[in-house]
Amino acid sequence: MTVTVRINDVEVLAEEGESLLEVALRAGFDIPHLCHHPAVEAIGSCRLCLVELQAAGREELTTSCNVRVEAGMQVITDSPLVRQQRAANLELLLARAPGSARLRALAARHGIQAPRFEPPPSEGIQNCILCELCVRVCAMLGHDALGVLGRGEKKRIGLPFNQPAASCVGCASCAAVCPTECIRVSETPQARTIWGQSFEFAHCRSCGAPMLTERQRQFEIEKNGLPEDSYDTCESCKRQQTSQRFAAITW
């Protein structure tokens, strides 16, 4: 059902139940967010997407990623209170992940040059902001190879039972979505190493170039019931073959 909400005094149309943050971003409002990704469920971890929300007779300062849009909501995305508390959370995040260029730039735009806090103790990955995007995306992809260990100050992202995960296929989507780029991936033409495991690449049957990992290839074949020789040619050779077929048709 389509509903109307007001964001910064502008009327915006939305589908009832959509994420308020998604609606605002689509309408062109710039609300900083790090732990939100439209492909996975919002958890409201980073606390940057704060807005002042008036709904059902209540006023509150809240994150917008995990608010489901209802008719008549009124939202302010840039009040002094919002900016003040957004900056406060940015400062806390920067103290935890000073090595992230993206976070440094975002903090600088909010007047935070250097955090006034020492880095919190962490047994986890350096510069990780514990947003759980890697965990959520990996679960969404059907691998569930990453988990959250501990809670509170001991919370860290890691492998279940601290063992290399049997279900990891080395696709590196976790690294791709990580907002602070703190997941280390290294590659040779032979293999990709990530989360303590080395994954052999599947190689193009024509030119031998590395493509996706063999484990990822097998996972897709099994999941979709594809023939065993699927995904065995690289995009360059596939394109080459396509051009030959087009040439054969034309001339």
Partner 1 sequence: MVRLKNSKQLQQLHRQLAAARPAGRPAVAVCGGTGCQAQGSLSLSDAFRRELKKRRLSKKVELRLTGCHGFCERGPLVLVFPQGVLYQRVKAKDVAEIVERTLKKGEIVERLLYQDPQTGKRIAREADIPFYRHQQRLVLKDNGHLDPTSINDYIAIGGYQALAKALKMGPAGVLDEVEASGLRGRGGAGFPTGRKWRICGSTPADTRYLVCNADEGDPGAFMDRSVLEGNPHSVIEGMLIGALAIGAGQGFVYVRQEYPLAVERLELALEQARAYGLLGAGVLGSSLEFDVTIKRGGGAFVCGEESALIASIEGRRGVPRRRPPYPAQQGLFGRPTCINNVETWANVPHVIKRGAKWFSAIGTAGSKGTKIFSLVGKVHNTGLVEVPMGISLRRIVFDIGGGIPGGKQFKAVQTGGPSGGCLPESKLDTPVDFDTLVAEGAMMGSGGMIVMDSSTCMVDVARYFTNFLKFESCGNCTSCRDGLIHMHRLLEKLCAGTAAPDTLERIESLAETIRRTSLCALGTTAVNPVLSTLRHFREEFVAHLEEKRCPAGVCKELITFTIDADKCTGCTLCAKNCPQDAIRGRKKKPHTIEQDKCIKCGICRDVCQYDAVLVK
Partner 2 sequence: MLVVYPGRCVGCRTCEVACSFAHASNGKPGPSRIRIHPAGPERFVQVTCLQCVNAACAAACPTRALRRNEVTRAIELDERLCVGCGLCEAACPFGHLQFSRELHLPLKCDLCGGNPACAAFCPHGALEWR
Interface with partner 2 (CB under 8 A) = 25, 37-39, 137, 140-142, 171-173, 175-177, 211-212, 216-217, 220, 231, 233-244, 246-247, 250-251
The residue among 12 and 25 lying less far from partner 2, judged by its C-beta, is 25
Q: Residue type for 149, please?
A: L
Q: Segment near partner 1 (CB under 8 A), from 12-20, 87-95, 197-205, 218-226?
A: 87-95
Q: Which stretch binds partner 1 (CB under 8 A): 92-100, 158-166, 194-202, 217-225?
A: 92-100
Alpha-carbon gap, residue 249 to 180, rounded angstroms: 49
55 vs 169, which CB is nearer to partner 2? 169
Choose, by CB under 8 A, the member of 12, 20, 46, 106 that binds partner 1: 46
Which is closer to partner 2, CB of 161 or CB of 251?
A: 251
Which one, of 125, 215, 213, lies nearest residue 166 by Cα? 215
Nearby residues of 198 by Cβ (< 8 Å), 6 or more positions away: 191, 192
Please, is 187 exposed, middle or buried when counting C-beta atoms within 10 Å of its C-beta (0-12, 13-18, 19+)? Answer: middle
By the 8 A CB rule, do 236 and 209 touch?
A: yes
Q: What single-letter DSSP state applies at residue 170?
A: -
- For the CA atoms of 222, 134, 38, 152, the dihedral, rounded to the nearest 10 degrees, stands at 140
Q: Pick the stretch among 149-157, 160-168, 181-189, 204-212 that binds partner 1 (CB under 8 A).
A: 149-157
- Residue 157 or 177: which CB sits closer to partner 1? 157
Helical axes 80-96 vs 101-109, angle rounded to 10°: 150
Q: Residue 18's closest CA among 73, 70, 74?
A: 70
Of positions 8, 54, 74, 85, contacts partner 1 by CB under 8 A: 85
Q: Which is nearer to partner 2, 76 or 139 (CB)?
A: 139
Does position 63 interact with partner 1 (CB under 8 A)? The reply is yes
Burial class (CB in 10 A: 0-12, 13-18, 19+), 6: middle
**Contact status: 154 vs partner 1 (CB under 8 A):** yes
Q: Which stretch binds partner 1 (CB under 8 A): 21-29, 88-96, 163-171, 214-222?
A: 88-96
> Residues interacting with partner 1, by CB under 8 A?
43-47, 50, 56, 61-63, 66-67, 85, 88-89, 92-93, 95-96, 116-118, 120-121, 129-130, 148, 150-155
